[in-house]
Structure 1
């Protein structure tokens, strides 16, 4: 199991060290709120941005994303955490066997992918997938795709998981803070339960 090695990189951190030259990973793991929440726990990772990538639709928005999928832009200091570690963590935060979405969120918008900009990143992503397949004994369907352009979603959806702004009406309650709505959504969607089922003790973001 890889948990001890991977969790060495997961300590609460929300800002890059002063003067750091950040690298960037682009990850699609279903709901972008969840990817943002998970990776802002990782030591060496800065402010994660939620948005869209992977498609051709101009100027995608929440509710009108066209052929894009939800994604997170993950800036990090590679003296603290590597691309390979980022990809290892990512695979252990999703259901890598699901081609139709993630958890309760279904359809193209919620499918998974690792987007890469260089051959070095591609090799790191493919190595992470190969290691995960060996560990799980099953083929992983999460693809490695070439990155093109990232479109940040509106401010309403940034840092949703930790916002105390109240929502007048939602499917998980009335006049609840976003952070409460997020927790209820994540639990109700079954994300952590399924990740735990797939990865067991090797799921770094599941309490």
Structure 2
């Protein structure tokens, strides 16, 4: 049976409408998303912390701040790339603001330590807040000033311009909840178990509680 012109036009119109709706949905989704990049020592821990926050869509481990393209974990931790372990947090600003996320971030690390974080030492593990424009910089400056006032100590976490964020290898993504088996000094363990053992041994939560007390948003939730 031949298809009439009316049916063809109807089908084409339906396709055009579907395409327009799809494009509109993508634009709305993009409008509901914003990005914050922070460095807070071990990126497994920062990722694990912020994926618990209402309004956070995704947290991705990676590297930024250096000069080497496509850095590997081995290269970054060996030193010389200039990169820090960092996390890219994608969030819905209608549910949680950049300022609120930075408030939590600064109370989830030791912002008085310029030489690393907890048991992890060296530039790779230092803290930083990365910004893309003046508005983001002003929000970050306000968060740092409030943290310093609340703590009664100098906050050494720098505010840096955001360059390219390089995602870490798949091995590191969602490490804190993975059931994959890895070999640790404790023997074969699931990544999730290895992560908890590492976090406890590194003293992250203990130090954060010592600094921030009840204001520490994630201590003890690993």
With normalisation by structure 1, the TM-score equals 0.89
Correspondent of 2:203 among 173, 190, 206:
190
* 2:25 matched residue in structure 1: none
* 1:29 matched residue in structure 2: 40
Equivalent position SS for 1:64:
helix
With normalisation by structure 2, the TM-score equals 0.83
Equivalent position SS for 2:193:
helix
Equivalent position SS for 2:45:
helix
* 1:98 matched residue in structure 2: 113
Counterparts of 1:46 and 1:64 in 2: how far apart (Å)?
29
Correspondent of 1:119 among 134, 139, 154:
134
Counterparts of 2:115 and 2:216 in 1: how far apart (Å)?
21
CA deviations over 1:102-160 (Å, ceiling 9, x no partner): 00000011000000001111111100110111111111000000001100001000000
| Structure 1 spans left out of the alignment, 5+ residues | 1-17
Counterparts of 1:104 and 1:63 in 2: how far apart (Å)?
18
Deviation for aligned residue 1:58: 1.9
On the 8 A contact 2:32/2:94 being kept in 1, the answer is: no
Equivalent position SS for 1:48:
strand
Counterparts of 1:79 and 1:21 in 2: how far apart (Å)?
7
CA deviations over 1:73-119 (Å, ceiling 9, x no partner): 00000000111001100000000010110000000110000000011
Q: Does residue 177 in structure 1 map to residue 193 in structure 2?
A: no
Deviation for aligned residue 1:46: 1.1
CA deviations over 1:175-199 (Å, ceiling 9, x no partner): 1000000000000000000000000
Counterparts of 1:135 and 1:31 in 2: how far apart (Å)?
24
What number of residue pairs does the alignment pair up?
188
Counterparts of 2:151 and 2:107 in 1: how far apart (Å)?
11
For the pair shown, the structure with the greater C-alpha radius of gyration is 2
Correspondent of 1:150 among 144, 165, 169:
165
Q: Does residue 141 in structure 1 map to residue 156 in structure 2?
A: yes
Deviation for aligned residue 1:170: 1.5
Deviation for aligned residue 1:21: 2.2
Counterparts of 1:136 and 1:71 in 2: how far apart (Å)?
24
| Structure 2 spans left out of the alignment, 5+ residues | 1-27
